């Protein structure tokens, strides 16, 4: 789980820790600061991997901090889900769990300090006017309130806090540089009025700090050494550093930016994911087609597979889109090691072994996982009445079809060689039963006389098989870039992303299948029990990933 590879973030930290560096002799301290307004997705997993992984690499600490400075849309449901997902990924913040709102009083104090130093002022431009007076590249911004006396700003700011003014009536702005080439430095807003209840502070506050003012203070209050964030904050770094330099915060964190993770065939913004949930395009945040961590978990993803993915995509300064197929590739590799091999028939047709005695049952011992002898063996039963996949029989075979057709022999995996003798059809001409004779000399699957059997097919014993529902997933979007340009991402949804198979027949041992165990259904892919809809009376399996690797190395 520890992150061994070097990356540009680690190189910068190495310099900081080296002799004469800014953080010489200090413990590396990072934080992961999610906004509790949605569930975590695979993009957050990358950030978690970088934040917690970097702390681990340096024997340091990583805090978990809810970035709840925005009052309206946050919810404790999300806070709990975020904690669960991070723990599931294998990371631990120990006792360092914080809320940005815990620092509201400190932030207010630092804002007053800035006003007193002549570095902030109360501005009465409306949001529209502020925008109009923002200037352009060669033209500075303006505010007629910039040079108002300190006493006046102190008084107005206190009255803003006391609730005397309605939303939008005034703001607190930093006094930095109206002509700056970086628009974030053109006297940015530090506080705005918002008469809204906060999920933790209730109605105590009606002014709320802007992210660019709040975040450096939160980091400094927690003695974060390295504040790792995504690239969109690069242009905000001068402001981050300005806040740290001009307030009496207790420490000096350093912000370092890295590229966001994008994956094709999916969307990653919480706003879009929320729309999919709220408008019923998916069954919930944990729909197995969602790129959320709870969705991936329900789909059968393992924390190991996700960490491996995050490690292999690396950390860079340039944004790029990773193939969804690569995420699947990482899962397949992991499940190949850990999943038990079992047999399940998804689209069953009866196979009757006509020369096998009626009422007889025999058992075969099979290895659970050839990669892991320690996982032991289990029994599967064989009788005259079996199920095979509908597609494993053709009455009139097409060229190169080597499975069952009249006169042909196949190996029933782990049991016997059987030879097809015909089939039974219903009044519509549909095959309802395939007939075959077994070779009693081929127990274990190989004929005694050494004759070659081209195909091996899977099967289950109809006398002991268990019914199941199986859900097969495809990409949620049929467009590789549903986020791109001015596309309506809803229009890009894949109408065939979920296929529900009822009446599947799975081997007896699967009646005790438990989430989160993974199973390889031979020839069909990796599956797990659905942790929401499955019950012992009605088993439901999700296909985590198909066997065939579509990732182009």
The footprint of Mg ion (CB under 5 A) covers 35
Name which of residues 31 to 60 contact ligand ATP (CB under 6 A): 33-35, 43-44, 46-47
**Residue 44 partner contact from Mg ion, ligand ATP, none using kind-dependent CB cut-offs of 5 to 8 Å:** ligand ATP
Q: Which single residue brings its beta carbon nearest to Mg ion?
A: 35
The reply on whether position 325 binds ligand ATP by CB under 6 A is no
Supply the minimum distance, in Å, between the C-beta of residue 193 and ligand ATP: 23
- Annotation says 35 is catalytic: yes
Is 437 part of the annotated catalytic residue set? no
User: Out of 172, 185, 229, 434, which residue is the one contacting ligand ATP (CB under 6 A)?
Assistant: 229
What is the DSSP code (8-state) at residue 183? Answer: G
Q: Which two tokens stand for residue 143?
A: 């505010």
Name which of Mg ion, ligand ATP, none residue 229 binds, using a CB cut-off of 5 to 8 Å depending on partner kind: ligand ATP
Which position has the token pair 């001009």?
246
CB-CB contact of 378 with 508 (8 Å): no
Distance in angstroms (rounded) separating the CA atoms of residues 258 and 245: 23
134, 148, 223, 260: which one contacts ligand ATP (CB under 6 A)?
A: 260
Count the site residues for ligand ATP by CB under 6 A.
Answer: 15
The closest of 205, 206, 227 to 218, measured between CA atoms, is 227
Q: Cα(169)–Cα(192) distance, rounded to whole angstroms?
A: 9
CB of 275 to Mg ion, least distance (A): 16
The b-or-e profile of 322-351 (16+ CB within 10 A means b, else e) is bebbbbbbbbbebbeebbbbbbbbbebbbb
Is the Cβ–Cβ distance between 169 and 183 less than 8 Å? no
Distances (CA, A) of 38 to 109, 270, 490, 538: 30, 6, 19, 31
Would you call 360 a catalytic residue per the annotation?
no
Judged by beta carbon distances under 5 to 8 A according to partner kind, the member of ligand ATP, Mg ion, none in contact with residue 462 is none
Candidate list 1, 12, 150, 268; residue touching ligand ATP; CB under 6 A: 268
Sort strands 431-438 and 348-353 into parallel, antiparallel or unpaired: parallel
**E strand or H helix at 228:** strand 226-230
Cis peptide before 276 (omega within 30 of 0): no
Q: Which of 73, 96, 260, 275 is catalytic?
A: 260
Residue closer to Mg ion (CB basis): 56 or 70: 70
Q: Which residues pair with 411 in a beta bridge?
A: 417, 456
Nearer to ligand ATP, 53 or 414 (CB): 53
Give which of ligand ATP, Mg ion, none residue 53 binds (C-beta under 5 to 8 Å, depending on kind).
none
Provide the minimum distance between the beta carbon of 263 and ligand ATP in the complex, in angstroms, as a whole number.
9
Shortest CB 306 distance to ligand ATP, Å: 13
7 sits near ligand ATP (criterion: CB under 6 A): no
Closest distance of CB 191 from Mg ion, Å: 18
The Cα 127–Cα 136 span in angstroms is 17
H or E stretch covering 75: none
Nearer to ligand ATP, 213 or 438 (CB): 213
CB of 334 to ligand ATP, least distance (A): 21
295 makes contact, choosing from ligand ATP, Mg ion, none, with CB < 5 to 8 Å by partner type, with: none
Tell me if 79 contacts ligand ATP by CB under 6 A.
Answer: no
Residue 527 Cβ vs Mg ion, minimum distance, rounded to whole Å: 35
* CA pair distance 174, 411, nearest whole angstrom: 77
- Order of strands across the sheet that contains 340-342: 340-342, 518-521, 525-529, 539-545, 466-473, 498-506, 344-345
Q: How far apart are CA 300 and CA 288, in angstroms?
A: 8
Q: How far is the CB of 328 from ligand ATP (least distance, A)?
A: 18
Nearest CB to ligand ATP, comparing residues 34 and 348: 34
User: Which single residue brings its beta carbon nearest to ligand ATP?
Assistant: 43
Task: Give 232 or 377: the residue with its C-beta nearer to Mg ion.
Answer: 232
269 near ligand ATP, rule: CB under 6 A? yes
Residue 230 interacting partner from Mg ion, ligand ATP, none (CB closer than 5 to 8 Å by kind): ligand ATP
What does the angle CA 403 – CA 407 – CA 408 come to, to the nearest 5 degrees?
25
Q: Is residue 270 a contact residue for ligand ATP (CB under 6 A)?
A: yes
Longest dimension (CA), the chain: 103
Q: What residue has token string 């990653």?
A: 268
Which entry of 31, 270, 341, 524 is annotated as an active-site residue? 270
Chosen from ligand ATP, Mg ion, none, partner binding at 236 (C-beta under 5 to 8 Å by type): none
φ/ψ of 238, rounded to 5, equals -60, -35
Q: From the centroid of its chain, how far is CA 315?
A: 17
Active site residues: 35, 260, 270
Q: Which residues bind ligand ATP (CB under 6 A)?
A: 33-35, 43-44, 46-47, 67, 229-230, 260-261, 268-270
């Amino acid at each position: 789980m520890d992150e061994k590879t070097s990356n540009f973030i680690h190189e910068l930290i190495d310099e900081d820790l080296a002799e004469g560096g800014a953080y010489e002799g200090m413990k590396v301290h990072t934080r992961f600061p999610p906004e509790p307004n949605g569930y975590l997705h695979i993009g957050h997993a990358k950030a978690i991997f970088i934040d917690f992984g970097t702390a681990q690499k340096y024997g340091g600490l990583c805090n978990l901090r809810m970035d709840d400075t925005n009052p309206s849309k946050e919810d404790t449901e999300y806070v709990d889900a975020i904690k669960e997902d991070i723990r599931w990924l294998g990371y631990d913040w120990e006792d360092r769990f914080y809320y940005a709102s815990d620092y509201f009083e400190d932030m207010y104090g630092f804002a007053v300090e800035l006003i007193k130093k002549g570095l902030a002022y109360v501005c009465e431009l409306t949001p529209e006017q502020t925008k109009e007076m923002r200037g352009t590249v060669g033209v500075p911004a303006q505010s007629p309130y910039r040079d108002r006396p300190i006493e006046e700003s102190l008084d107005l700011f206190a009255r803003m806090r006391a609730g005397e003014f309605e939303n939008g009536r005034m703001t607190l702005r930093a006094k930095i540089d109206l002509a700056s080439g970086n628009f974030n430095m053109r006297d940015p807003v530090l506080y705005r009025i918002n008469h809204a209840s906060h999920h933790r502070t209730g109605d105590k506050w009606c002014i709320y700090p802007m992210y660019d003012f709040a975040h450096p203070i939160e980091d400094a209050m927690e003695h974060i050494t390295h504040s790792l964030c995504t690239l969109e904050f690069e242009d905000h770094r001068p402001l981050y550093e300005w806040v740290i330099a001009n307030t009496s915060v207790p420490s000096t964190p350093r912000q370092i930016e890295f590229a966001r993770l994008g994956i094709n065939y999916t969307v990653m913004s919480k706003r879009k994911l929320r729309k999919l949930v709220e408008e019923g395009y998916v069954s919930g945040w944990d729909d197995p087609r969602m790129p959320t961590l709870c969705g991936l978990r329900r789909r059968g993803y393992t924390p190991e597979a996700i960490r491996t993915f995050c490690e292999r995509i690396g950390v860079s300064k340039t944004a790029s889109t990773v193939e969804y197929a690569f995420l699947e590739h990482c899962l397949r590799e992991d499940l190949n090691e850990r999943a038990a091999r079992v047999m399940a028939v998804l689209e069953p047709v009866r196979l009757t072994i006509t020369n096998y005695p009626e009422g007889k049952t025999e058992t075969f011992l099979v290895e659970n996982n050839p990669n892991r002898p320690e996982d032991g063996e289990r029994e599967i039963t064989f009788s005259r009445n079996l199920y095979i996949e509908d597609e494993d029989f053709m009455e009139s075979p097409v060229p190169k079809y080597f499975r069952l057709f009249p006169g042909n022999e196949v190996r029933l995996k782990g049991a016997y060689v059987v030879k097809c003798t015909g089939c039974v059809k219903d009044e519509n001409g549909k095959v309802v039963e395939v007939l075959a004779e077994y070779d009693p000399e081929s127990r274990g699957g190989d004929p005694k006389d050494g004759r070659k059997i081209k195909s091996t097919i899977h099967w289950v014993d109809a006398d002991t098989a268990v019914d199941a529902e199986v859900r097969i997933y495809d990409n949620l979007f049929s467009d590789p870039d549903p986020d791109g340009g001015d596309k309506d991402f809803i229009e890009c949804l894949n109408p065939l992303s979920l296929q529900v198979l009822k009446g599947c027949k799975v081997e007896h041992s699967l009646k005790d299948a438990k989430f989160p165990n993974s199973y390889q259904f031979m020839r069909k892919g990796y599956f797990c029990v659905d942790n929401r809809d499955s019950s012992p009376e009605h088993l439901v399996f999700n296909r985590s990933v198909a066997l065939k690797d579509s990732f182009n190395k």
